[in-house]
Amino acid sequence: MNRRPRCKVMDDDEIVKVKMNLAPYSIRLTCCDCGLTHDVRILKHNGLKQDQLEMIFSRNERVTANRRKGKTEAKHEGV
């Protein structure tokens, strides 16, 4: 049975466009090579200029450990 990947695999230097009107939201980034996973919160608030976003990266130890053990696949879904 062919399983479709549950994540978007990106090329090196691929640009990701973020729509300003969707902030705040969260995404999960996972390295294909080593499995290191970060949860990224993207925020827009009054303390920033109109064209700026705030991105907060937090290492997700649980998902990283599971990815490295081969227990989970990377997901393209929000955190």
Residue 32 maps to a domain: yes
User: Looking at per-residue confidence, does 60 or 10 come out higher?
Assistant: 60
Average pLDDT estimate for 12-23: 74
Residue 7 maps to a domain: no
pLDDT at 72: 65
The answer to whether residues 37 and 60 touch, using CB atoms and an 8 Å cutoff, is: yes
Average pLDDT estimate for 31-50: 84
d(CA 23, CA 3): 32
Residue 34 maps to a domain: yes
Contacts of 51 (CB under 8 A, 6+ apart): 20
Average pLDDT estimate for 28-45: 86
Residue 8 maps to a domain: no
The yes-or-no verdict on residue 57 having pLDDT over 90 is yes
Domain that holds residue 51: 22-68
With a threshold of 0.75, does the pTM exceed it?
A: no
Instruction: Please tell me the total count of domains within the chain.
Output: 1
